[in-house]
Amino acid sequence: MKPLIVANWKCNPQTLKGAKLLFNSIKRGMKKIRNVEVVICPPFVYLLTSDKRQATKIKLGGQNCFWKGKGPFTGEVSPKQLLNFGCKYVILGHSERRIYFDETDEMINKKIKAAISVKLNPIFCIGETKEEREKGQTQSILKSQIEKGLKKVSKKEIEKITIAYEPAWAIGTGKPCDTEEAQKMSLLIRKMMARKYSLSIAKKLRMIYGGSVNSKNARDYIKEADFQGLLIGGASLDPKEFIKIVKTISA
């Protein structure tokens, strides 16, 4: 399985010109990259800027979607709309959506199921906050996010899902989870998935890490902590740094 590197641009950049510049710079840097799957998740309004991506292997993803297919849901974007726009992935359950938009595990579960039903691959984010970690609740929080978020997701469907472990305390803080701890967490999540599904499913599961990833620490998560990819925020807005990250992974 190729490592998966996902750029989450979040609510950036502020202009179409800026989005095009960023996309094209990354595209140029990806020309010789073969053994890494690179996905860019721009704000919805910029998805179209990336329609010349065929020349490269860059794939597209949404940062969120609604669980309903169509209808009177002002401001929402459906999984099918993302798919028809050329997206292969959708980020769901990001901690910023859980925190700022009160997304619950139940809502995330509906979104996951809706995405899978149209063959859009969910990148399902889980992770504890600083407070939860300090209170020793990390394990129970992850277990509950997995149980509720993946409720009624079958063994067959789970193959479409990538789990992103993104501890909220590491996001945008410049304080990444250290490799040893990340290794423990990946093992813990895999054990939970083995219990919920099966050992072989847990072994095959693609898990990625996110939270203050940069070109210096990127490789460690994959080589030493049993993650098969990365979910990158801040560093994906700096094309030089992002390209450097992808190159260290592909080397």
Q: Which residues are catalytic?
A: 94, 166
Q: Is 212 in the site for ligand 13P (CB under 6 A)?
A: yes
Taking contact as CB under 6 A, which single stretch among the options 49-57, 99-107, 221-229, 233-241 is the one that binds ligand 13P? 233-241
Quote the longest CA-to-CA distance of the chain: 49
> Dihedral of CA 89/95/96/100: which sign?
positive
Opening angle at CA 210, ends 45 and 22, nearest 5: 35
For the CB of residue 180, give the shortest distance to ligand 13P in the complex, in Å: 19
Taking contact as CB under 6 A, which single stretch among the options 17-25, 51-59, 146-154, 230-238 is the one that binds ligand 13P? 230-238
Backbone φ, ψ for residue 92 (5° rounding): -130, 145
Q: Is 186 in the site for ligand 13P (CB under 6 A)?
A: no
Q: Which of 29, 167, 210, 229 binds ligand 13P (CB under 6 A)?
A: 210
Q: Which of 19, 114, 182, 232 binds ligand 13P (CB under 6 A)?
A: 232
Which residues are CB-neighbours of 7 under 8 A, at least 6 positions away?
26, 38, 39, 40, 41, 232, 236, 242
Q: What's the rounded Cα separation, in Å, for the pair 163 and 140?
A: 17
Question: Which is nearer to ligand 13P, 64 or 212 (by Cβ)?
Answer: 212
- Local structure of residue 7 (DSSP, 8 states): E
Taking contact as CB under 6 A, which single stretch among the options 68-76, 186-194, 206-214, 217-225 is the one that binds ligand 13P? 206-214
Which residues are CB-neighbours of 140 under 8 A, at least 6 positions away?
none
Question: Which is nearer to ligand 13P, 114 or 125 (by Cβ)?
Answer: 125
State which of positions 114-173 bind ligand 13P (CB under 6 A).
166, 171-172
Q: Which of 93, 122, 127, 211 binds ligand 13P (CB under 6 A)?
A: 211
Q: Interface residues with ligand 13P (CB under 6 A)?
A: 8, 94, 166, 171-172, 210-213, 231-235
